[in-house]
Amino acid sequence: MVIFGASGDLTKRLLVPALYNLACDGLLSDNFAVLGTAMEPWTTEQFRERMSTEIPKYQTRKEFDQAVWDRLVARFHYVPGGFTDAALFPALRAEVQRLDAAYGACGNVLFYFAVAPRFFGLLCDRVHESGFKDGPGWKRIIVEKPFGTDLESALKLNREVLANWQENQIYRVDHYLGKETVQNLLAFRFANGMFEPLWNKHHIDNIQFNVAEAVDVEARGGYYDSSGVVRDMMQNHMFQMLAYLCMEVPGSFEPDAIRNEKAKLLQSVRRYTPDEVERNAVRGQYGPSADKPGYRQEKDVNPQSNTETYAAARLYVDNWRWEGVPIYLRSGKALWKRGTEIVVEFKRAPAVIFRGTPVNGLDANRLVFHIQPYQGIEIQFQAKIPGPQMQLQPVHMKFGYGEAFKANRYTGYEVMLYACSHGDATLFSRGDLVEAAWRIAQPIIDHWAATPAEFPNYVRSTWGPKAAADLIAADGRQWHEVVTEDVLKQSPLFRDGDAVFLEQVIMALTPRQLAAGEVVITKGELGREMYLIEQGEIEVLDDEGAAIKVLTDGDVFGEIGVLMSTKRNATCRAKSPTDIYVLSKADFHRILRDNSSFADAIRTVAKERYRVEMTADSLMAE
């Protein structure tokens, strides 16, 4: 394996730890060796020392196996040089020939381009010209992302790369395809008979892809400012997941059988006119918080930058299977949490047969693929609450990787290196796929580049711009937020709750975003909901409209009016953009009835905050 860019970040953080994992699992051949090359004037000995210093930091296994590492690193070699240096390639060729003889690699060479994309074409030419392709054995090239920065540059890059190489020698990395949970989408869909009959417009109401990142642009302002989230996440990682989830059943598990279906799917995604981009996509950019800069103040970012750090879109796949089913995607930086989920929401059952029972409305069934950091699959449905009446509660069945498997943690690159060395291109993107993905993204990128944005428009550590919630609300739907126990435990009211109680609350909450100045409770109205603040500020107003109190992250409000069925005794308004969870009256009462310690906590809040004495009976009254 020849690594171009051997002194870089990718090599030490991912490639070498991945090789180490393969060695630990006995999946590296005895005939394997690494030849690193980069500008650093290192010797082989220095390269080995450097990698040996880094590996403890980046290896992913529970225990570090020194003996395996020593055997692996003894196979590392190094030749210094720049890509424009005429002497480098003959030197590499000579070294590869020497190593080939020493290790008995049968002429097989895997070239890994862990370098900036502007070098891909040049490297392809140089490697070809230096005669590497002569002689026995296979020669394959792995190129890192991004593959092009727009449609035109991707097409040009494809032409350059394929000028001297065959498509089946080029392996384009999308590291999402290396994730176990993403690969499992195919296993889930095609190894199980249960869902395939439902996998279409007749049974599925909508699909949501959510890739939230808590990190900001970190030290990558220079790169990111010419990229933005559509290029950085959607065009590649999210469209790959979209293709896996929505493609037709392939004829086999052969790489091209799968990639043909993926390409067909992406080619069927509707491409938007500028007007359609306006209606179907929303962009955002984060502003400063009290202690952290906004995007425009980040290092190497243009202070007037129009680059989006958040995007949400409604897409359609115009084929027989998915016609009319909205597919919502959203991704952003500096959001409230790190979490990637795919939510498949099924059509609701007709509620009419429950008329005359206490059931008022049915929730949709959902299938949630938890991609990361929690890894699992969840099915949400309704169950009858034990007791004499017909009452329902949303519940779920969950499969968690941590409970089902005892596997080590991997970097995601093991499977790609292993697959490439076995000639299996399934996990790599093909030229036509990359092109199809750019054709969907390009109209959005172009329209946004041509029109100024009102940035910044979202606050750090929130759910993102409210416009994204409005986009989906316009269709009568909501983004599905995956709420975890940690979120609830921000609030003293829920902190000591047991697992069953917390589950009940989580399943009953619905998210809602408020713009600054938006009124959420109006004095004198009857309360039908209570609220929990995820982040932001809610002002409680007196009759003159002056703020008498400000509630913030983890606080609840509106619970007394709901509990006692009294009129609201104050107006509450968002002081800043605020994300809240809503708990309906019916759910609140149901949860109270089941959880006496929660009822006690509510009584304490009522007493402290409103000086209201509540008896156990008044709490339970409907």
Q: Which is nearer to ligand BG6, 213 or 298 (CB)?
A: 213
Distance between terminal CA atoms of the chain? 70
The single residue among 225, 232, 341, 539 that binds ligand BG6, judged by CB under 6 A, is 232
The strand pair at 537-541 and 578-584 is best described as: unpaired
Residue 24: which residues within 8 A CB-CB, separation 6 or more?
61, 65, 68, 408
Look at phi and psi of residue 551 and say left if phi exceeds 0, alpha if psi is from -120 to 50, else beta: beta
Distance (Å, whole) CA 341 – CA 212: 9
Q: How far is the CB of 232 from ligand BG6 (least distance, A)?
A: 5
Cβ pair 266, 437 in contact under 8 A: yes
Q: How far is the CB of 70 from ligand BG6 (least distance, A)?
A: 30
Between residue 115 and residue 154, which ones bind ligand BG6 under the rule CB under 6 A? none
Cβ pair 536, 579 in contact under 8 A: yes
Where does 75-196 show beta strands of DSSP type E? Answer: 76-80, 109-113, 139-143, 170-172
Residue with tokens 């697959």: 419
Q: Which is nearer to ligand BG6, 3 or 177 (CB)?
A: 177
Q: Which is nearer to ligand BG6, 229 or 281 (CB)?
A: 229
The strand pair at 109-113 and 2-4 is best described as: parallel
- Please state, in angstroms and as integers, the Cα–Cα distance from residue 37 to each residue in 92, 244, 573, following that order: 8, 35, 60
The single residue among 3, 110, 212, 213 that binds ligand BG6, judged by CB under 6 A, is 213
Residue nearest to ligand BG6 (CB): 232
Q: Which is nearer to ligand BG6, 213 or 481 (CB)?
A: 213
Chain centre to alpha carbon of residue 377:
15
DSSP assigned state of 458: B
Q: How far is the CB of 213 from ligand BG6 (least distance, A)?
A: 6
| Residues 394, 474, 477: CA angle, nearest 5 degrees | 10
Residue 364: which residues within 8 A CB-CB, separation 6 or more?
205, 345, 346, 347, 348
Q: How far is the CB of 96 from ligand BG6 (least distance, A)?
A: 30
Q: Which is nearer to ligand BG6, 369 or 557 (CB)?
A: 369
Distance (Å, whole) CA 308 – CA 288: 15
Three-state secondary-structure class, residue 56: helix
Q: Which is nearer to ligand BG6, 240 or 267 (CB)?
A: 240
Q: Which is nearer to ligand BG6, 232 or 579 (CB)?
A: 232
Q: Which is nearer to ligand BG6, 213 or 587 (CB)?
A: 213
Rounded-to-10 torsion of CA 598, 604, 608, 614: 110
The yes-or-no answer on residue 128 being catalytic is: no
298 touching ligand BG6, by CB under 6 A: no
Which CB contacts under 8 angstroms, 24+ apart, belong to 195-202?
A: 195/367, 196/249, 198/346, 199/321, 200/321, 200/322, 201/321, 201/322, 201/323, 201/324, 201/325, 202/347
Q: What share of the chain is helix, strand, coil (3-state, %, to 5)?
A: 40, 20, 40
Distance (Å, whole) CA 511 – CA 515: 14
Three-state secondary-structure class, residue 611: coil
Distance (Å, whole) CA 89 – CA 129: 9
Residues 347-386: x where in contact with ligand BG6 by CB under 6 A, - otherwise, as a string: ----------------------------------------
Q: How far is the CB of 172 from ligand BG6 (least distance, A)?
A: 13
Distance (Å, whole) CA 486 – CA 155: 46
Q: How far is the CB of 10 from ligand BG6 (least distance, A)?
A: 11
Q: How far is the CB of 220 from ligand BG6 (least distance, A)?
A: 7
Q: Which is nearer to ligand BG6, 212 or 538 (CB)?
A: 212
Single out the catalytic residue among 175, 237, 370, 480.
237
Q: Which is nearer to ligand BG6, 177 or 583 (CB)?
A: 177
Q: How far is the CB of 571 from ligand BG6 (least distance, A)?
A: 41
How many binding residues for ligand BG6 (CB under 6 A)? 2
Q: How far is the CB of 422 from ligand BG6 (least distance, A)?
A: 24
Q: How far is the CB of 217 from ligand BG6 (least distance, A)?
A: 8
Distance (Å, whole) CA 439 – CA 441: 6
Cβ pair 576, 536 in contact under 8 A: yes
Residue 62, number of CB atoms within 10 A of its CB: 7
Q: Which is nearer to ligand BG6, 213 or 225 (CB)?
A: 213
Q: How far is the CB of 160 from ligand BG6 (least distance, A)?
A: 22
CA Rg value for the chain: 28
Residue 546: which residues within 8 A CB-CB, separation 6 or more?
none
Point out which residues bind ligand BG6 (CB under 6 A).
213, 232
Which active-site residues does the annotation give? 237
